[in-house]
A and B are shown apart, each in its own frame.
Chain A
Amino acid sequence: MRLEMEKVLAEIEKVIAGKREAVTKILTALLADGHVLLDDVPGVGKTTLAVALSRAVGLNYKRVQFTPDVLPSDLVGFSMYDRQSGGFSYHPGALNDANLLLGDEINRAGSKTQSALLEAMEERQVTVDGVTYSLQKPFLVIATQNSVGAAGTQFLPYAQVDRFLVRLSLGYPDYAAQMEMLKNRQGVNPMDQVQCVMTRDVLISMQKEVQQVVSRDAILDYITRLTLASREHEAVDVGISPRGALFLDRMAKAHAWMDGRDFVTGNDVQAVFRDVCAHRVLLKESTNQTVDDVLNDLLRTVENPDRHSRGMWKQ
């Protein structure tokens, strides 16, 4: 892994133990300039993770706890009549100067609010009363969904879940990790020890480098075959969208960059495939397979580009 990222990871691990893999994935998503959906139970350290990440990278951190009465204007800001100046003045919302936005329990927000957030995520700008304000760069949204106590909530519809680059879950820590966590918090708050080891500008330049990573035709072919196969799979109702294919490529690039390479391999695609695509596949009701089964099936049956791309030199 790249040294810079190793450092960031080390800082985050001061507060979150034993979640190296998930944290790495979130960092990868950050590099790929995409958003993360965390499907998790409460109290496993989502907020801690986000705060630690924002401190380590020097990002501007905002948090919105979604409830049914959070309104779109809370996110994107609103214009108010100002008597002194005699005109309208703009009051920025939570999105405006955030680099890292933690949207807690996004499924509790109303659909209007959800769509305002998702639109801002996609466009990276907000428009209020005809004036467009572009958001900070980089801009990463970590949204969480609690499946516990889901009564009265609106889970994100398929079309909107599709906009998240990856869906991850942290999960409970194991025995050793939890013991360490408890020990660490005797007396001092480890969050204070997290230091800024990277700047925003460095992160932006890294994101640019990630964009320069090469995906050759063999890889694009593999991604296309994977997505096509997902649409034709017998247990699948709605397969991976073209956007999913784009995101898969982006995430694979970030993964390759994290690995210190400037080209994507088939293994990169395979490594990120489950995280990028698990939330993009809708199964038929009649099937008794799980999404994991289907994805593993695809990885097994769709021919690896190492085997498939004989004669790629002719391209």
Chain B
Amino acid sequence: MKKRYVGFAVWLVLTCLLYFFENNTDTRIVLACTLLMPFVPVLRRGLFEKDTVSQQPKAIPQTIKTFETREEDDPGDVRAYLPGDPVNRIHWKLTAKRDELLVREQAKNKTAEEMEIKTVLEAEQPAANKLKKHIFLIGFSIFLFSLMLLLMIPSANQGMQALLNRLFDASEAVNAYAYERFDVPADQPVAFAAVLLSLIGLSLLGMTLLSGSRFLALGLMAACVLFQIYFGLAFPFWVNVPLFALFVLWMMKRPWKRKVALTALTGMMIVSMAVLLLYPGVDAATEAASETVRDRLSQMAQSITGTTHEQPAGENETRHVHTQTLTAGGQEARTDREYRLVTVEEEQISMPHWVDYLRIVLLLLLTVALVILPFLPFLLLNQRRKKALDARKVFESENVNEAVFAIFQHVAAWLEATGHGEDNTPYAAWHADLSPDYVQRFTACEKLFEEAAYSTHEMKEEDRQQALALLNETEQALQQRADWKQRLRLKYKECLWV
């Protein structure tokens, strides 16, 4: 099973490598199509899984039946003939032998039916899991396939670029440089690209639905953030809020909640992206906000890296003019190709400085870490200490056996923490270097402990007092003997001891 997956992976990597190093478009199409090949049997099995499930139990009762007929020769399965029994149930061989009419018992057939039901019930569970896995694989293959087609087939590729252009048109004021990158006429047909993109979206959605994987969410989020930063696109806030929510969800532990929420959010993200791609239209306010953010970021980058960008004198004015043009009407801004030449300097600013951004992020993380770090041990230890105190509540339990047991466990933990006993050795081998007086009391208490742990006797109140006295004595003795390092260690252990 695992070998097969390794084989798949190797084959996938090889295909992808070939695909990227191959220049001939036709060969690449063929390669992309072969990508779907190994998933065909999976696809078939995945889709027709239900049939095989319903077929399986049919085969099992048959084997039971043959087994039954063999057992019917056993005289234990027959009874005397009663009027009304069908003739074909008469056991002729035994009848001849015993000189009376004997009939085969029917009782066992019922158990066979029960078994059938059971096997059907049992078979369904793993089949459902398998189906899930198969659908996941299919989604993955469709995702890869669409992505490759999108990247490779000229019409699809150009269609996507045209789609992107539409998007950039909307935020032309800051993204003029994009025109140089995607030099595709705006009237390029986009239907093919849209279909492929929606395929990608759907398969991603399906995969999220099935797996509830946190990494998928993280990847999606990262992609969105990159998209925003790199292209300077300011999504409206109803996209960014779910983005944050996605991150929170990524940290959540309940798998099913995560799954449902993730699916909803992925769907939302995909829809919002599609809307942005197909019906671009960014209002001036968002545009201005995005502008300010970018300015601030570049200023921060400058102050951090120490490098100063050449600030063209008229920049602010040009920007002002552009904002005005935008407010005047997006249509006008979109067609303004001359604009490119004017904003060459601005392009330099709006071009992302990856290293700088990375530094900013790292610095932020470092600051947060530095703020949190000193409090961390206290937070952790305090929680543990609370738990430790809770554990001591058992000492007052009404069940004396339980109390004695818990007390002795504490004593053992103390001794273990100071190196007087080893993990799995019997208690008799412990306390080697303690005073003989103490050893005597310890041994007596060990007897109590054994009685508490393994017998069904009711123990008395004195026993609890004796155990408590031993615990106190142990604590005091060990504290006295310990040097400061060990004392610290003991304090820590006391917190840890739950």
**Chain A positions near chain B (C-beta within 8 angstroms):** 214-216, 218-219, 261-267, 270, 299-307, 309-310, 312-313
Contact = CB atoms under 8 A, between A and B. Distances in A.
Interface residues of B, number: 20
A307 B450 contact: no
Interface of B is mostly: helix
Contacts of A264: 454
Interface centre among B451, B455, B457 (most CB of A within 10 A): B455
A307 B427 CA distance: 10
Contact of B427 (A215, A216, A306): A306
B402 A313 contact: yes
15 contacts: A216-B456, A218-B453, A262-B455, A263-B450, A263-B454, A264-B454, A265-B450, A267-B426, A267-B450, A304-B426, A306-B427, A306-B453, A307-B423, A307-B424, A309-B453
A90 B383 CA distance: 79
Contacts of B399: 313
B401 interface: yes
Contact of A301 (B424, B450, B451): B424
A302 B450 CA distance: 19
B454 A218 contact: yes
A312 B428 CA distance: 21
Interface of B: 399, 401-402, 405, 409, 412, 423-428, 449-451, 453-457
Given A313-B399, A313-B402, A214 B456 contact: yes
Nearest to A256: B454
B424 A303 contact: yes
Contact of A312 (B424, B450, B453): B453
A56 B399 CA distance: 45
A228 B271 CA distance: 55
Nearest to A268: B454
Contacts, number: 56
B442 to A, nearest CB: 14
Contacts of B405: 312-313
A302 B424 CA distance: 8
A265 B454 contact: yes
A310 B423 CA distance: 15
A313 B426 contact: no
A270 B426 contact: yes
Contacts of A263: 450-451, 454-457
Nearest to B399: A313
A265 B409 CA distance: 15
Contacts of A305: 453-454
Given A265-B450, A307-B424, 20 more contacts: A214-B455, A214-B456, A216-B453, A261-B455, A263-B450, A263-B451, A263-B457, A265-B454, A267-B426, A267-B450, A270-B426, A302-B424, A305-B454, A306-B412, A306-B426, A306-B449, A307-B423, A309-B453, A312-B453, A313-B399
B4 to A, nearest CB: 27
B454 A300 contact: no
B410 to A, nearest CB: 12
A305 B412 CA distance: 13
Contacts of A300: 424
A6 to B, nearest CB: 20
Given A218-B453, A306-B453, A266 B402 contact: no
A267 B453 CA distance: 12
Contacts of B455: 214, 216, 261-263
A172 to B, nearest CB: 29
Contacts of B402: 313
Contacts of B425: 304
A280 to B, nearest CB: 22
Nearest to B457: A263
A13 B328 CA distance: 116
B453 A265 contact: yes
